[in-house]
Amino acid sequence: MSLARLWAAVAVVLFASAAEQSGYLTGAPVPDWLGLATTGGRDAIVLGEGCETAAPGVNVVILDSEHVQLVDPLAGPRPGACTLGTRVHMSDMPCVRNPVGLCDVAFE
């Protein structure tokens, strides 16, 4: 199986819903804030309830303007959703994408 086909298979498993957008968390220079990289650019965010395990280097599924779902690299989306407490757009630089076009921190 080629590498491109492998990534396509992984992408289908991890990001099965077309209505949702992929992204990933990055570090931020401000304590208690994280970066959120998406196809629309980079945002500084503060996460609310349900996000105790969120950290830089984690892929996410953006469920809507107020919720993200953390993605385990082996098991796929984790149960539940994290609330975006604060979100400030910082840059139009898009996320780095994997070969199938999804935002993927492994390619950052």
Mean pLDDT value of segment 69-73: 93
Instruction: Mention every residue, 6+ apart, whose C-beta is less than 8 A from residue 61.
Output: 15, 17, 20, 21, 22, 23, 68, 69, 71, 77
Q: What is the pLDDT of residue 7?
A: 46
| 3-class DSSP state of 7 | helix
Q: What is the pLDDT of residue 20?
A: 75
8 Å CB contact between 38 and 9: no
- Dump pLDDT digits (tens) for 25-46: 999 878 889 999 999 999 999 9
* DSSP secondary structure string for all residues of 55-81: -TT-EEEEEETTEEEEEETTTEEPSS-
What's the CA gap between 60 and 68, in Å, rounded?
Answer: 6
DSSP 8-state class, residue 11? H
- Dump pLDDT digits (tens) for 78-103: 998 999 999 999 999 999 999 999 99
What's the CA gap between 71 and 53, in Å, rounded?
Answer: 11
Is the pLDDT at 17 greater than 70, yes or no?
A: no
Confidence of residue 2 (pLDDT cuts 50, 70, 90): low
